[in-house]
Amino acid sequence: MTAKPENKSQTAQEQDILEGFPLPGYPATRLRRLRSAGWIREMVAEYNVTANDVILPLFITEGQNASEDVTSMPGVARRSIDLTIEALKPAIDLGLKAAAVFPVVPVEKKTIGGEEAFNPDNLICRAVADIKAAFPGLGIITDVALDPYTTHGHDGIVDDGRILNDETVEALVKQSFVQAQAGADVIAPSDMMDGRIGKIRQMLESQGFENTMILSYAVKYASCFYGPFRDAVNSGGFLKGDKKTYQMDPARSGESLREVALDIAEGADMVMVKPGLPYLDIIKTVKEAFNIPVFAYHVSGEFAMLKAASENGWLDYDTALMETLLSFKRAGANGIFTYGAYDCLKLLNKPLKNSA
The predicted structure's pLDDT at residue 242: 84
CATH (domain of 327)? 3.20.20.70
The answer to whether residue 98 is domain-embedded is: yes
Q: pLDDT digit of tens for each residue in the chain (356 aa)?
A: 444 445 566 666 667 666 767 767 888 888 888 999 988 998 989 999 999 999 999 999 999 999 999 988 999 999 999 999 999 999 999 999 999 999 999 999 999 999 999 999 999 999 999 999 999 999 999 999 999 999 998 999 999 889 999 999 999 999 999 999 999 999 999 999 999 999 999 999 999 999 999 999 999 999 988 877 767 766 656 677 788 899 989 999 999 999 999 999 999 999 999 999 999 999 999 999 999 999 999 999 999 999 999 999 999 999 999 999 999 999 999 999 999 999 999 999 986 554 55
The answer to whether residue 220 is domain-embedded is: yes
Total tally of structural domains belonging to the chain:
1
The predicted structure's pLDDT at residue 352: 55
Interval 204-254: pLDDT, tens: 999 999 999 999 999 999 998 887 776 776 665 667 778 889 998 999 999
- If we measure between CA atoms, which residue out of 220, 65, 218, 215 comes closest to residue 140? 215
Please name the residue ranges forming H helices in the chain.
10-20, 38-43, 81-93, 123-134, 165-182, 196-206, 227-232, 255-266, 280-290, 300-311, 317-331, 341-348
The answer to whether residue 78 is domain-embedded is: yes
- The pTM of this model reads 0.89
d(CA 118, CA 87): 27
Given a contact cutoff of 8 angstroms between Cβ atoms, the answer to whether 200 and 192 are in contact is no
d(CA 32, CA 186): 44
The answer to whether residue 209 is domain-embedded is: yes
d(CA 215, CA 169): 16
The answer to whether residue 12 is domain-embedded is: no
d(CA 196, CA 168): 9
Strand-pairing partners, residue 302, are: none
240 is catalytic: no
d(CA 160, CA 237): 20
Across 209-231, b (16+ Cβ under 10 Å) vs e yields beebbbbbbbbbbebebbebbbb
Across 89-112, b (16+ Cβ under 10 Å) vs e yields eebbebebbbbbbbbbbeeebbee
Q: Which of 97, 199, 274, 287 is catalytic?
A: 274
Interval 23-72: pLDDT, tens: 678 888 888 889 999 889 989 899 999 999 999 999 999 999 999 999 88
The answer to whether residue 353 is domain-embedded is: no
Q: C-alpha angle 339/192/201, rounded to 5°? A: 95
Given a contact cutoff of 8 angstroms between Cβ atoms, the answer to whether 247 and 178 are in contact is no
Look up the domain containing 155 and give its range: 49-348
- If we measure between CA atoms, which residue out of 311, 297, 309, 308 comes closest to residue 339? 297
Helix count and strand count (H, E) for the chain: 12, 12
Q: Which of 220, 243, 284, 287 is catalytic?
A: 220
> Considering Cα of 146, then 150, then 152, then 156, what sign does the dihedral take?
negative
The answer to whether residue 4 is domain-embedded is: no
274 is catalytic: yes
The answer to whether residue 6 is domain-embedded is: no
d(CA 353, CA 356): 9
- If we measure between CA atoms, which residue out of 59, 84, 91, 109 comes closest to residue 233? 59
